[in-house]
Amino acid sequence: MNLKVGDLLDCQDSFGGWYHGTVVKVINHEDNRKSVRITYKVYDENGNKSDEKGKFYGFTDQEETFDVTLPKIMPFCSTCKYRNY
């Protein structure tokens, strides 16, 4: 996956649930692996919560890091059965 900051994804959290998320950081490892740090927030001008980046739907303080080769991250709206907002 060729991901960049701001990309939207479906992500499987550590409990096995699928949620929408946003890439907040891309990590390039020395051994050529790539990981992404995601937040379970989707920024939207109509969001029902807000932080320093703006309005969003989702969870306030939950972030996780994923290796991009794992099936725990998928294209946006391809796996998540419901919106987390």
Residue from 76, 58, 85, 72 nearest 15 by CA: 72
| 84 within a domain of the structure (yes/no) | no
Question: Could you give the number of structural domains in the chain?
Answer: 1
pLDDT of residue 20: 92
| 69 within a domain of the structure (yes/no) | yes
| 54 within a domain of the structure (yes/no) | yes
Number of neighbours of residue 43 by Cβ within 10 angstroms: 17
Instruction: Domain of residue 48: give its range.
Output: 8-75
Q: Which pLDDT tens digit goes with each residue over 5-43?
A: 999 999 998 889 899 999 999 999 999 899 999 999 999
Q: What Å distances lie between residue 72 and 13, 49, 61, CA to CA?
A: 8, 26, 19
Three-point CA angle 28, 44, 60, nearest 5°: 65
| 82 within a domain of the structure (yes/no) | no
Asked if 16 and 79 count as a contact pair (C-beta separation under 8 A), the reply is no
Q: What is the pTM of this model?
A: 0.86
- Secondary structure, 3-state, 24-49: EEEEECCCCCEEEEEEEEEECCCCCE
Q: Which pLDDT tens digit goes with each residue over 49-84?
A: 999 989 999 887 889 999 999 999 999 989 886 665
pLDDT of residue 83: 61
